Chain A
Amino acid sequence: MSSTRKILGVAVLMLLASTVTWAQSLTGAGATFPNPMYSKWFNEYKKLHPSVEINYQSIGSGAGIAQVTEGTVDFGASDGPMNDMQLADFQSKRGSAVLHFPTVLGAAVPIYNIEGVTGDLKFTQAALAGVYLGTITKWNDPAIAKANPGVKLPNNDIVVVHRSDGSGTTYIWVDFLSKASPDWKSKVGVGTAVNWPVGLGGKGSEGVTGLVKQTPNSIGYVELIYAMQNNLSFGVVQNAAGEFVKASLASTTAAAAAASQNMPADFRVSITNAPGKGAYPIASFTWLLIPQKIADPAKKKVLTDFLSWMLNDGQGMTEALAYARLPKEVQQMEMKAIAKIQ
């Protein structure tokens, strides 16, 4: 290649590459579950404030926590609250506390593929825990059959499917199972990734869905949004009050409302197995992680402004994307908490 052509080529590229920007830009990273919602919000926010670009990337809750602690991003996002060890780590590395702001709610639902079964299956808490523990191995086990009179369940082995990648959805699922079954709590426990007693691991929700769709007599779990968007039939789960509740945006918000009675000041709370009527038991908040002390005043203004916008106008956009909005009580608590950012 002639050298003039080479140089020209490089020059053009450099020109292309160094587009000057006059925008204030912030970067955030973390949870994948709320990614579609956040991308909508940050896009809308830019339309209102053209000189502000908030770039959010969904690399995972754990990575989000790690990056905001390292200071490589301005804020983080996580499907599970940071634990005390992580809070202390943040304090020592960044010299300030980190604040949690719930943004939307999500839920995990059981999906299944059973020959001859088309309707909604009802699962008691014990049944779900037993299936995932591997103690309930056949579909026509009395624990499942009792809750589903009139449904012909086959005498086939249950093929269990779970997430292989660490995820907030898994966290919600096993958090619920731990509350539903002391056995699960002691044998397996809670985490974004656990030592599953049985089952195949699918990567991501599409991996789990693919496996369940292609494997007869299988059961798995995905986010409610995923099930809704892909028209997957999913089961009904028994909540703490004993009712069988089908997951929906309304029942998810109900779970949060029930839990908001005892909302701690730092918003780090698990709302699985929430008490109250109509509350779907496998639900959770997802949080934005904002450092309490922000050195750059311009960035601080952007973040505080965005938070109040998100808590008001932003909440109106959630339903269209199949996310459950925050209950009013939590919204109000958060508006007050914004003042904590210095």
Chain B
Amino acid sequence: MATYTTAETRALPPGGRARSFLRRGQVGEDIAYLITLAAAATIFLITSLIFYELYVQSVISRQKFGFHFLFTSTWDPVAGNFGALPFIYGTVVTAALALLIAIPQGLGSAIFLAELAPRKVSDSLTFLIELLAAVPSVIYGLLGIFILVPFLQADVVPVLKDVFGFLPIFQGAFYGVSYFSAGVVLSVMIMPFIVSVSREVLIAVPRDQREASLGLGASRWQTTWHVVVPYAMKGIMGSVFLALARALGETMAVTMVIGNTPQIKASLLAPGYSIAAVIANEFTEAVGGLYISSLIELGLVLFVVTFIINGLARLMIIAASGGGANT
């Protein structure tokens, strides 16, 4: 949070902000405060409203299944038997894989664009990369199934299996559609967020930081990696959160390449399913209170999963930076 110590201690009379509001003389100040507070409160309200809607509209299935919903693996619309486990698994696995690929890839690109490329080149390239964010999800999906999947089948996976085939995550038959394909497609989709935001925060690192490091004899890479990047770490982490959120909630592209099979398999090469994908697939055709309610309950589960993952990520950051990090 920005420091305004001098101003605040000088401006606030005894009794604090509340009394100052009553006393005239700071109208502009207070209006600004209230407007921004209102905006922040609106955000909180909207999020809560979404949670509330998800909670209320899933009442039928929550009452019927209780916590079993989280641990059951069947998804049977005809018999009315619904369970969330395979979808939770698929969502987490594909998001993790996407981040694993996109973070080094995106950070690498951001470093190049911020530190190495001449400003004009860097600016134009960044325009283009940001365009990747505008490509509609359905196009990613179609390109995924018609181009990426055959490519993975023919060129990438055989090599992976040769080299890493002893690992359980690369075993089993590969039909193209799988957690792996979904993870790769997602990584391309979330990359622009990491690149764009990280590049901006890296550029914003004050020049004197770099000059100090170089002046002490560090090489350019050492400066970049040990001084500039850590300084910008908060912003970079912020971009990762953005990317993570998109990975968790992506629908169309994932459903076209993940195989849409509600099962839990250790191998990344097996087909799977994700929460957002099943909602996208079945919501428009779902009829019947229990069916729709179960789909909405899946949305609620995703909300809670996002909540938990965000919490864990924040804890990790606090632990890594020794507390005090502004998360």
Q: Which residues of A contact B (CB under 8 A)?
A: 59-63, 65-66, 83, 85-86, 159, 164-167, 188-195, 199-203, 206-207, 210-211, 214-215
Q: Within 8 Å CB of B81, what residues of A?
A: 195
Q: A159-B175, A166-B281 are in contact. Are A195 and B79 (CB under 8 A)?
A: yes
Q: From B14-22, B125-133, B232-240, B285-293, give the one contacting chain A.
A: B285-293
Closest to B280 in A: A165
Instruction: Provide the residues of chain B in CB contact with A193, threshold 8 Å.
Output: 77, 281-282, 285-286
The residue from A166, A199, A211 contacting B282, defined by CB atoms under 8 A apart: A166
Check if B183 is an interface residue, CB within 8 A of chain A.
Answer: no
- Expressed in whole angstroms, the Cα–Cα distance for A190 and B78 within the complex equals 7
Q: Chain B residues in contact with chain A, CB under 8 A?
A: 74-79, 81, 141-142, 145-146, 149-150, 153, 175-177, 255-256, 259-261, 271, 273, 277, 280-288
A63-B285, A166-B285 known; A200+B175 contact, CB < 8 A: yes
- Assess A203 versus B281: contact at CB under 8 Å? Given A86-B287, A166-B286, A210-B145: yes
Point out the residue from A66, A188, A189, A207 that lies within 8 Å of B145, measured CB to CB.
A207
Would B287 and A189 count as touching, CB distance under 8 A? no
Beta-carbon contact of A60 and B153 below 8 Å: no
Q: What is the bound-complex CA distance between A65 and B288, given in angstroms?
A: 11
Name the CB-closest residue of A to B256.
Answer: A203
Q: Are B78's CB and A211's CB within 8 A?
A: no
Instruction: Tell me the complex Cα distance, A47–B77, Å.
Output: 43
**Cβ B282 vs Cβ A203 within 8 A:** no
Note all chain B residues with C-beta closer than 8 A to A83. 287
Please, could you name 26 A-B residue pairs with CB atoms under 8 Å apart, sorted by A? A59-B284, A60-B285, A62-B283, A62-B284, A62-B286, A63-B284, A164-B260, A166-B285, A166-B286, A189-B78, A189-B79, A190-B78, A192-B285, A192-B286, A193-B285, A195-B79, A200-B259, A200-B261, A200-B271, A201-B259, A201-B260, A203-B141, A207-B145, A210-B149, A211-B176, A214-B149
In whole angstroms, what is the CA distance A164 to B78 when docked?
14
The 5 closest A-B pairs by CB, nearest first: A166-B285, A201-B260, A164-B260, A60-B284, A189-B78
Q: A191-B77, A193-B282 are in contact. Are A199 and B261 (CB under 8 A)?
A: yes
Instruction: Please give, as numbers and ranges, the residues of chain B lying within 8 Å of A86 by CB-CB distance.
Output: 287
A65 & B260 in contact (Cβ 8 Å cutoff): no
> For residue B288, which residues in chain A have a CB less than 8 angstroms away from its CB?
85
- Report the Cα distance A62→B284, complex, angstroms: 6
Residue of B nearest to A190 (CB): B78
Contact between chains at A191 and B78 (CB < 8 Å) = yes
Nearest B residue to A178 via CB reads: B78
Known A188-B78, A195-B77, A200-B259; 16 more pairs at CB < 8 Å: A62-B286, A63-B285, A164-B255, A164-B277, A165-B280, A165-B282, A166-B281, A193-B281, A194-B76, A194-B77, A200-B260, A200-B271, A201-B273, A202-B256, A203-B256, A214-B176
